[in-house]
């Protein structure tokens, strides 16, 4: 890939603002003037205190929620509703319990009227990439939480989106599973070279995975800081013990600590 191609802008968020109006309570300004760009193939994370508007921004990018101001562009084209160019994975898996792993992964393709044999071939490819080979015919309830989230990621990738949007995808998992999932996600990303925008409240997860970390400030949600992560790839969990890694995590933590503490008090 040429330098010019690798620098191509995939996602552009322009002056996004969001105000939630509520009849019985004060209005909430969830986002103000959010400007950001994600390059093709880049892995970017957003971290910030709870309530800083991270999920709101992701839902606006996906087109599930209309912004109060600003716009979202994918490959230079303004988008205002969900489309196959963006796929989202949330904290809770959204698998269909009556369908097997391969049927779940193929589901989006089937909806788009891809012939079944082809849909299953594509699904199989992403099942293998997600390390789920051998579980094609299992049902969601037969899998662990970590495996179900891998099925979710495989399903999101199967429709070949331009951007993978992840909103705290590992938040419901225990600490050890979560670390394993981080390395799994890195290898999936290495293999597919998708553009990824990840939301997480775990700073070390953001630094470990990303090319760049965007730090949000709360009330209203604004971008406080953007931090390039120039740690070598491929990365493994040992990286988390390096001084460079710890210094970045400390820097980000110092930047948001006061807000995280405040958000704990506000509930």
Does 88 sit near ligand ADP (CB under 6 A)? Answer: no
Question: Which of Mg ion, ligand ADP, none does residue 263 bind to, with CB < 5 to 8 Å depending on kind?
Answer: none
| Strand, helix or coil for residue 115 | coil
Q: What are phi and psi of 55, to 5 degrees?
A: -65, -35
* C-alpha to C-alpha distance for 174 and 153, rounded to whole angstroms: 18
Task: Report which of 57, 50, 71, 130 is spatially closest to residue 95, judged by C-alpha positions.
Answer: 130
Q: With respect to ligand ADP, which residue has the nearer C-beta, 52 or 182?
A: 52
Does 52 sit near ligand ADP (CB under 6 A)? Answer: yes
Q: With respect to ligand ADP, which residue has the nearer C-beta, 59 or 86?
A: 59
* C-alpha to C-alpha distance for 205 and 245, rounded to whole angstroms: 11
Does 152 sit near Mg ion (CB under 5 A)? Answer: no
Question: Which of Mg ion, ligand ADP, none does residue 169 bind to, with CB < 5 to 8 Å depending on kind?
Answer: none
8 A C-beta contact, residue 218 and residue 46: no
Which of 8, 9, 19, 28 is the binder for ligand ADP (CB under 6 A)? 28
CB of residue 252 to ligand ADP, shortest distance in Å: 15
8 A C-beta contact, residue 149 and residue 173: yes
Does 45 sit near Mg ion (CB under 5 A)? Answer: no
* C-alpha to C-alpha distance for 179 and 175, rounded to whole angstroms: 6
Q: With respect to ligand ADP, which residue has the nearer C-beta, 168 or 204?
A: 168
* C-alpha to C-alpha distance for 180 and 17, rounded to whole angstroms: 35
Does 51 sit near ligand ADP (CB under 6 A)? Answer: yes
Which of 41, 53, 67, 161 is the binder for ligand ADP (CB under 6 A)? 53
Number of residues that bind Mg ion (CB under 5 A): 2
Q: And the tokens for 259?
A: 């807000």
Does 55 sit near Mg ion (CB under 5 A)? Answer: yes
From residue 90, how far is each of 93, 101, 167, 201, 224 by CA, in Å?
6, 17, 5, 14, 24
Which range touches ligand ADP (CB under 6 A), out of 50-58, 106-114, 224-232, 250-258? 50-58
Q: With respect to Mg ion, which residue has the nearer C-beta, 102 or 206?
A: 206
* C-alpha to C-alpha distance for 64 and 98, rounded to whole angstroms: 26
* C-alpha to C-alpha distance for 163 and 170, rounded to whole angstroms: 18
Q: With respect to ligand ADP, which residue has the nearer C-beta, 8 or 262?
A: 262
Does 202 sit near ligand ADP (CB under 6 A)? Answer: no
Site for ligand ADP, rule CB under 6 A: 20, 22, 28, 30, 48, 50-56
Site for Mg ion, rule CB under 5 A: 54-55
């Amino acid at each position: 890939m040429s330098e010019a191609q690798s620098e191509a802008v995939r996602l552009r968020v322009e002056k996004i603002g969001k105000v939630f109006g509520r009849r019985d309570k004060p209005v909430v300004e969830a986002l103000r003037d959010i400007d950001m760009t994600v390059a093709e193939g880049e892995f970017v994370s957003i971290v910030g205190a709870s309530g800083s508007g991270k999920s709101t921004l992701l839902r606006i990018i996906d087109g599930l929620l209309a912004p109060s101001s600003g716009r979202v562009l994918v490959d230079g084209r303004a988008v205002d509703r969900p489309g196959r160019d963006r796929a989202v994975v949330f904290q809770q898996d959204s698998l269909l319990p009556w369908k097997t792993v391969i049927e779940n992964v193929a589901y989006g393709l089937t909806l788009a009227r891809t012939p079944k044999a082809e849909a299953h071939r594509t699904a199989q490819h992403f099942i293998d990439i997600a390390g789920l080979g051998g579980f094609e015919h299992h049902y969601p309830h037969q899998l662990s939480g970590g495996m179900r989230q891998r099925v979710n990621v495989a399903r999101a990738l199967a429709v070949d989106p331009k951007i993978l949007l992840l909103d705290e995808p590992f938040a419901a998992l225990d600490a050890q599973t979560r670390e394993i999932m981080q390395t799994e996600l890195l290898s999936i990303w290495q293999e597919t070279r998708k553009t990824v925008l990840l939301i997480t409240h775990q700073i070390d997860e953001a630094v470990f995975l990303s090319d760049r970390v965007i730090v949000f400030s709360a009330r209203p949600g604004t971008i406080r800081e953007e931090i390039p992560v120039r740690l070598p790839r491929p990365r493994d969990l040992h990286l988390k013990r390096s001084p460079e890694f710890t210094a970045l995590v400390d820097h980000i933590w110092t930047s948001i600590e006061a807000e995280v503490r405040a958000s704990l008090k506000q509930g």
